[in-house]
Amino acid sequence: MSKVTNILLAGVGGQGILLASEVLAEVLMLAGHDVKKNEIHGMSQRGGSVTSHVRYGEQVFSPIIPDGEVDILFGFELLETCRYMPLLRGDGRIIANDLRIMPPAVATGKQDYPAGLEQVLTSAAEAVIIPGLELAQQAGNVRTVNTVLLGALSNMMDIDAELWRKALEKMVPPRFIEENLAAFALGRDWRN
């Protein structure tokens, strides 16, 4: 069985993780891979911890990534990225958005938002921590954060830039495409 590559998207309900994983699945299909993606809808979406599993290769069976086989942990929020570290492969890589969203226990003063999460990530694995919001602002729309992050992710994947453009053009409404392409380029060019 040929190798399947596994990307785990992790973040907070409402961050648009499902849409990001749609673009990702689309580009992988365009690149000729078998693809499966999976996430949970419903109750957990209401501001809770959300993940999306994306798997690709010659033939993919399970829609869920087996424990410890995540090749790229793709985090949209720092705490949520750390939460799923145990699922990462020994030589897995991390991309994390430099964003903190307070969970209820923190927002109500019962717990502190943990400090030093960036160090936890960078000391564990090859990790890129990217200022998604700042780059999205540069791209002209704060709502393009996810596209910035996809741009950063694209550096870790062997997929032609033209296919990314095609996938974005298919998934993003035409009136937002220019700023999303700009956001993607900013994410792709960004270096630590």
Partner 1 sequence: MSKEILSGNEAIARGAFESGVKLAVAYPGTPSTEIVENASRYREIDSSWAPNEKVALEVAIGACLGGARSLVAMKHVGVNVAADPLFTMSYTGVRAGLVLAVADDPELHSSQNEQDSRHYARAAKMPMFDIADSQEALEFTRLAYTLSEQFDTPVFVRTTTRIAHSKSIVEPGQPCSDAPQPSLKRDAAKFVMLPSNARRRHDVVEKNLQRLAQWACSQPFNRVEDNDGDVGVITAGVAYQYAREVLPEAAVLKLGLVYPLPVELVRDFARRYKTIYVIEELEPFIEEQVRALGIEVVGKDKLPICGELTPGRVKAALCDEQFTPAHNCAIDLPNRPPNMCPGCPHRGVFYTLKKLKAFVTGDIGCYTLGFMPPLSAMDSCICMGASVGNASGLNRVLPEQEKQQVVGVIGDSTFLHTGINGLMDMVYTNATATLVILDNHITAMTGRQENPGSGFDIHGQPSRKVDLEQLCRSVGVKHVRNVNPWDLAEVYRVIKEEMERPEPSVVITRGPCILIKRDVGQRKTPLQVSADKCSGCRACLNIGCPAIEWHPEAGERGQAVVSQLLCVGCGICEQLCKFDAFELVSKGGNNE
The span of 63-71, 147-155, 156-164, 179-187 binding partner 1 (CB under 8 A) equals: 63-71
Q: How far is the CB of 189 from partner 1 (least distance, A)?
A: 26
Both tokens of 38, joined, read 């999976």
* Binding flag, residue 12, partner 1 (CB under 8 A): yes
Q: Which residue has 């994306």 as its token pair?
A: 54
Q: Given candidates 106, 156, 157, 163, which one binds partner 1 under the rule CB under 8 A?
A: 106
Nearer to partner 1, 41 or 175 (CB): 41
Judged by CB under 8 A, does residue 61 bind partner 1? yes
Contact segment (CB under 8 A) with partner 1 among 38-46, 147-155, 172-180, 181-189 equals 38-46
Structure tokens at 124: 């564990």
Name the E strands within the chain: 5-12, 34-39, 49-57, 70-75, 88-97, 126-130
Q: Are strands 5-12 and 70-75 parallel, antiparallel or unpaired?
A: parallel
Is the distance from CB of 148 to CB of 136 less than 8 angstroms? Answer: yes
State the Cα torsion 99-101-107-109 to the nearest 10°.
-40
Closest approach, Cβ 25 to partner 1, in A, equals 5
* Residues found near partner 1 in the complex (CB under 8 A): 1, 12-13, 22, 25-26, 29, 34-49, 60-64, 66-68, 79-80, 82-83, 85-90, 92, 102-109, 111-114, 116-117, 120, 124-125
